[in-house]
Amino acid sequence: MRQIAQEILIKAQEGDLESFENIYKETAGFVYNVAFRIVNNKQDTEEVVQDVFLNIYHNLKSFRFQSSFKTWAYRITVNCAINHSKKMARERNRVKEYGNNLIQTGEISESPEIDKLNDGREKIISSLLGVLNADQRACIVLRNIEGLSYQEISNTLKININTVRTRLKRARETLLNLGKEGLRDEL
C-alpha cells in the first residue's frame, strides 16, 4: 500500500466523500489481504472489510497523524478481524453445544484459471493458518506475509513487543509440530 497524501486524509476528515473514496481505492486490496489471512474465509473477509471501512469512516476524525495511516489502518483491520474470528468461534462453540452440525460452505470461484493456479498454495496456507488462534494468526500474517517488523506489529496490535515474540514463537511451534505429525503419518 502506498502512503496516502496528508491533504487527502485531511479532506476526508472534513467529510469529503471523494477523498474517502480515494482512501478506499488505495487501501481496499491490502485490507482484504490482511483480513483474509486472519479470518481465513472469503465470506467472513468481506464482512470484516466492510467493518474496517465503517470504522475508518467513523473514526477518521480521530486520526492525529502520530503514526502512519498504514499502521492505523493495519490496527483497525487486525482488530476487526480478530474480533470477528472470536465471535465466529463463540458461535461455533454454541452450535457444538447443542449438537448441531456445522454447515461448511465452499468458496465460489470467480476466475477458474486463477483459482487453479493458486488453489493448492492457498489451501495449504489457509489450513495452516486455521490451526492457529486468532492472536497468533494475526502476528504470523503481519510478520511473514505482510513483512512487518516486531516493533511495527507491536504498534499495530498495541501489545508489548515480548507478547509479539511469544505469539510468534508459539505459532511457529504449533506449525512445526503439525509438520512433524504430518511426516509421521506419511511414514
The four Cα atoms 135, 137, 139, 142 give a dihedral, to 10 degrees, of -140
Summary count for the chain: helices (H), strands (E): 8, 0
pLDDT at 101 over 50: no
Q: Cell numbers 478481524 correspond to what residue? A: 81
> Model confidence at 50, in pLDDT bands (50, 70, 90)?
very high
- Counting every residue written for the chain, the total comes to 187
> Model confidence at 106, in pLDDT bands (50, 70, 90)?
very low
Give the whole-number percent of the chain exceeding pLDDT 90. 36
Burial environment of residue 80 by CB neighbours within 10 A (0 to 12, 13 to 18, 19 or more): buried
What are the chain's domains? 6-186 (1.10.1740.10)
pLDDT at 80 over 60: yes
The rounded distance, in Å, linking the Cα atoms of 112 and 73 is: 31
Q: What's residue 165's pLDDT?
A: 92
DSSP string, 91-108: HHHHHHHTTPPPP--PPP
pLDDT at 115 over 60: no
Report the mean per-residue pLDDT for the chain: 80
Q: Which residues contact 69 (CB under 8 A, 6 or more apart)?
A: 3, 4, 9, 63
> Model confidence at 175, in pLDDT bands (50, 70, 90)?
confident
